[in-house]
């Protein structure tokens, strides 16, 4: 486990170095739990996946306020993103809102998107600007993410991102970028996507790795009991 | 009735005169008057001759600064309507007011290619006059991207002179609704007066440069060919705009193009030698007006169906077009090409000819257009 963790850190470092070289736009998600059973694992940032935990012993659904973040060195004239997940997995999004007041946010009139479930978990988050393009880290939108789970359900729900209606426009075509008029975009740990919303066949471009993952976990009491049981077994063996 | 008139008039032409060799050029231009071509104004420069010769590929529609003489207005740009009607409501005014808007119909999805005849004197005879024009106009096969919904021909040549031994036909559409052009365009007018006395005023055109008519084309809505093709976003070496560009070509039809004389001095030269369009500042290669069929040379005009603001030509107006729109804003008229003016002028307010045609006043409409695309999914 420790070995795997080290490998992941190295891999992330390599990805971060590559992203910097190509000036890719990084998109990542951060979250705050709305109740005790809604956990957030530390460490989510550029080129990373946000890992959430849901204590399935609780009566209420797990719930988080999730923020969509970008790092747009080189400037950005617009964006568009949808989120999707597997249907029927108990995950829903609602209450999307622009972070219009965020420092440096150049998209005050953006569309926050519409929440839902399954393939339409969050659709239509998009904005653009003719004003001076933004740079640096931005918070674009927030929304409430929920997951309903049955007691003892330890299943994993993955959420992925695709482009939405809007292009991830390049503020400066002379800026070193793989796709000219459009920025190269990385959703979480995904490889870079052309920032033009649709491909030649009219399909939205899709990130190739999950950006958010929600994992069901046993309640703390069960964990304690399991720990005690292990302790007892260990003592008996001695 | 019309057909009868044409046949009758053609018969009179044949019986009255001898057809001799000559030279006349027939070309399209988006400018609607002879004066506009003879005294070009921006975005046409005062340089005569077509600025860019077409040798293949997409270079012509994405022109630089063209000259202003004959043959410099051979590129017509029209916009595909948005399926949600946003093109007519952006910023409170329609895109129809924007350049070129020469047809003044307040709708950028329609546009005209005006046909001109530039007829030179011919020493093969005296009192020579063009007496019949028979043309077919072909538009390249439809693409799966933005398409032309229809085209129609209208003669603008007047028949005020008498006697009126003339007949004309507006032709019939080639393909559904004329999206492939119009064939069978015919006009004949006999240079006679009274009891069959030869009179040049009775003919069609005598040694002059004049407008003959117009080909009006209308773009289909951008979702006409479906989401996966028409509304798709195509980048790369052959982007959406190139795939929404159509060649226009003319050829002589079975009415033929002929010149008649009161007296023939060189009987051996019986045919009108014609050329269609300009290339590289000179009339295209010639063909025989007495022979119907495909004409040699390059295309005679180009029609491009392209969204306003779509500077990168990918088929959508998006944030990716912002830098080019911004770069074009405030640039003087003399440095703004036809294509840039088409893409960036959304309000039609250009001020003096030398003034910047694209200004901050165009940004609200551009913003509204991009917003309309943002909220409309793939196919607004």
DSSP line for A222-236 = HHHHHHHHHHHHHHH
ipTM of the modeled complex: 0.73
pLDDT band at B164 (very low <50, low <70, confident <90, very high): low
Beta strands at B125-126 and A25-33: parallel, antiparallel or unpaired: unpaired
pLDDT at residue A85 tops 90: yes
Chain A residue numbers touching B322 (CB-CB < 8 A): 77-78, 128-130, 133, 169, 171
Q: What is the pLDDT of residue B20?
A: 36
Percent of chain A residues topping a pLDDT of 90: 44
Does B107 reach chain A within 8 Å, measured CB to CB?
Answer: no
Least confident range from B116-130, B195-209, B304-318: namely B195-209
Least confident range from B8-17, B177-186, B311-320: namely B8-17
Q: Nearest-CA residue of chain A relative to B373?
A: A165
Three-state DSSP at B27 gives strand
Region A145-173: what's the mean pLDDT?
Answer: 88
Within B2-78, residue ranges assigned H as helices are 2-16, 34-38
pLDDT band at B1 (very low <50, low <70, confident <90, very high): very low
Chain A residue numbers touching B235 (CB-CB < 8 A): 179-182, 194, 196, 200
Q: Nearest-CA residue of chain B relative to A165?
A: B374
Q: What is the pLDDT of residue A11?
A: 39
The residue among B354 and A232 whose pLDDT is bigger is B354
Does B312 reach chain A within 8 Å, measured CB to CB?
Answer: yes
Does B228 sit within 8 Å of A130, measured CB to CB?
no
Contacts of residue A177, Cβ cutoff 8 Å, sequence gap at least 6: A22, A23, A24, A74, A170, A183, A184
Q: Is residue A134 within 8 Å of residue A195, measured between CB atoms?
A: no
Q: Is residue A196 within 8 Å of residue B235, measured between CB atoms?
A: yes
Mean pLDDT for all residues in chain B: 82
Chain B residue numbers touching A198 (CB-CB < 8 A): 231-233, 316, 378
Per-residue pLDDT tens over the stretch B18-45: 333 348 999 999 999 999 888 888 777 6
The residue among B45 and A203 whose pLDDT is bigger is A203
Nearest to A170 among B323, B325, B374 (CB): B323
Residues in chain B: 380
Q: What is the pLDDT of residue A12?
A: 38
Region A140-159: what's the mean pLDDT?
Answer: 91
The residue among B85 and B369 whose pLDDT is bigger is B369
Distance between CA B41 and CA B337 in Å, rounded? 12
Beta-carbon pairs below 8 A across chains A and B: 110
pLDDT at residue B139 tops 70: yes
Q: DSSP letter at A1?
A: -
Does A173 sit within 8 Å of B323, measured CB to CB?
yes
Q: CA dist A29 to A143, A146, A160, A210, B14, Å?
A: 11, 15, 11, 11, 83
Please, what sign has the CA dihedral across residues B290, B295, B299, B305? positive
The residue among B290 and B84 whose pLDDT is bigger is B290
CA angle B296/B297/B298 to nearest 5° reads 135
Mean pLDDT for all residues in chain A: 81
Q: What is the pLDDT of residue A226?
A: 52
Q: Is residue B27 within 8 Å of residue B276, measured between CB atoms?
A: yes
Chain A residue numbers touching B318 (CB-CB < 8 A): 78, 128, 166-167, 169, 196-197
Percent of chain A residues topping a pLDDT of 70: 74
Q: Is residue A121 within 8 Å of residue A157, measured between CB atoms?
A: no
pLDDT at residue A151 tops 90: no
How far does CA B143 lie from the centroid of its chain?
19
Q: What is the pLDDT of residue B71?
A: 78
Percent of chain B residues topping a pLDDT of 90: 34
pLDDT at residue A222 tops 90: no
What is the rounded (10 degree) CA torsion for A31, A32, A37, A40? 50
Does B363 sit within 8 Å of A170, measured CB to CB?
no
Least confident range from B84-98, B166-180, B193-207, B297-311: namely B84-98
Distance between CA B50 and CA B55 in Å, rounded? 13
Report the residue of A109, A164, A167 to disrupt the B interface, i.e. the one with the largest count of B CBs within 10 Å. A167
Chain B residue numbers touching A168 (CB-CB < 8 A): 319-320
């Amino acid at each position: 486990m420790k070995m795997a963790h080290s490998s992941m850190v190295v891999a992330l470092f390599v990805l971060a170095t590559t992203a910097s070289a190509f000036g890719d736009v990084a998109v990542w998600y951060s979250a705050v739990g709305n109740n005790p059973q809604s956990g957030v694992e530390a460490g989510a940032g550029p080129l990373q996946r946000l890992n959430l935990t849901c204590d399935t012993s609780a009566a209420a659904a797990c719930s988080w306020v999730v923020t969509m973040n970008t790092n747009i060195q080189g400037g950005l004239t617009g964006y568009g993103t949808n989120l999707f997940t597997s249907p029927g997995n108990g995950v829903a999004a609602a209450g999307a809102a622009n972070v219009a007041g965020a420092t440096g946010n150049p998209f005050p009139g953006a569309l926050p998107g519409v929440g839902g479930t399954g393939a339409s978990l969050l659709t239509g988050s998009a904005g653009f600007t003719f004003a001076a393009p933004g740079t640096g880290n931005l918070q674009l939108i927030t929304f409430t993410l929920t997951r309903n789970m049955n007691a003892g359900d330890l299943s994993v729900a993955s959420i992925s991102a695709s482009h939405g209606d809007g292009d991830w426009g390049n503020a400066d075509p002379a800026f070193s970028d793989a796709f000219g008029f459009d920025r190269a975009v990385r959703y979480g740990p995904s490889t870079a996507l052309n920032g033009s919303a649709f491909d030649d066949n009219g399909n939205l471009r899709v990130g190739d790795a999950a950006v958010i993952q929600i994992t069901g976990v046993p309640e703390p009491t069960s964990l304690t009991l399991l720990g005690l049981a292990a302790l007892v077994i260990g003592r008996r063996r001695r | 009735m019309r057909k009868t008139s044409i046949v009758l008039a053609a018969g009179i032409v044949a019986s009255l005169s001898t057809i001799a060799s000559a030279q006349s050029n027939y070309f399209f231009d988006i400018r609607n008057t002879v004066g506009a071509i003879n005294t070009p104004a921006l975005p046409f420069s005062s340089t005569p001759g077509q600025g860019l010769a077409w040798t293949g590929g997409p270079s012509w529609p994405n022109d630089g600064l063209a000259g202003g003489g004959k043959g410099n207005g051979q590129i017509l740009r029209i916009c595909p309507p948005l399926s949600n009607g946003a093109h007519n409501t952006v910023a409170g005014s329609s895109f129809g007011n924007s350049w070129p808007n020469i047809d003044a119909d307040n709708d950028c999805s329609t546009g005209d290619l005006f046909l001109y005849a530039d007829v030179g004197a011919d020493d093969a005879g005296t009192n020579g006059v063009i007496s019949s024009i028979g043309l077919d106009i072909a538009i390249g096969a439809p693409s799966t991207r933005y398409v032309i919904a229809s085209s129609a021909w209208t003669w603008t040549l007047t028949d005020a002179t008498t006697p009126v031994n003339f007949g004309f036909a507006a032709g019939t559409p080639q393909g559904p609704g004329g999206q492939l052009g119009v064939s069978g365009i015919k006009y004949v007018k006999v240079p006679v007066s009274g009891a069959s006395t030869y009179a040049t005023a009775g003919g069609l055109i005598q040694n002059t440069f004049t407008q003959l008519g117009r080909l009006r084309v209308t773009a289909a809505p951008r979702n006409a060919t479906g989401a996966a093709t028409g509304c798709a976003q195509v980048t790369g070496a052959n982007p959406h705009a190139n795939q929404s560009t159509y060649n226009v070509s003319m050829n002589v039809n079975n009415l033929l193009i002929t010149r008649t004389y009161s007296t023939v001095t060189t009987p051996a030269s019986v045919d009108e030698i014609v050329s269609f369009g300009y290339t590289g500042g000179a009339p295209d290669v010639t063909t025989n007006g007495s022979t119907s069929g495909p004409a040699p040379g390059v295309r005679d005009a180009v029609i491009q169906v392209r969204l306003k603001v779509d500077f990168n030509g990918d088929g959508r107006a998006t944030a990716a077009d912002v830098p080019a729109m911004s770069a074009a804003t405030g640039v003087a008229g003399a440095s703004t090409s036809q294509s840039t003016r088409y893409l960036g002028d959304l309000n039609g307010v250009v001020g003096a000819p030398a003034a910047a045609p694209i200004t901050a006043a165009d940004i609200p409409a551009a913003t509204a257009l991009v917003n309309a695309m943002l909220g409309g999914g793939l196919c607004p």
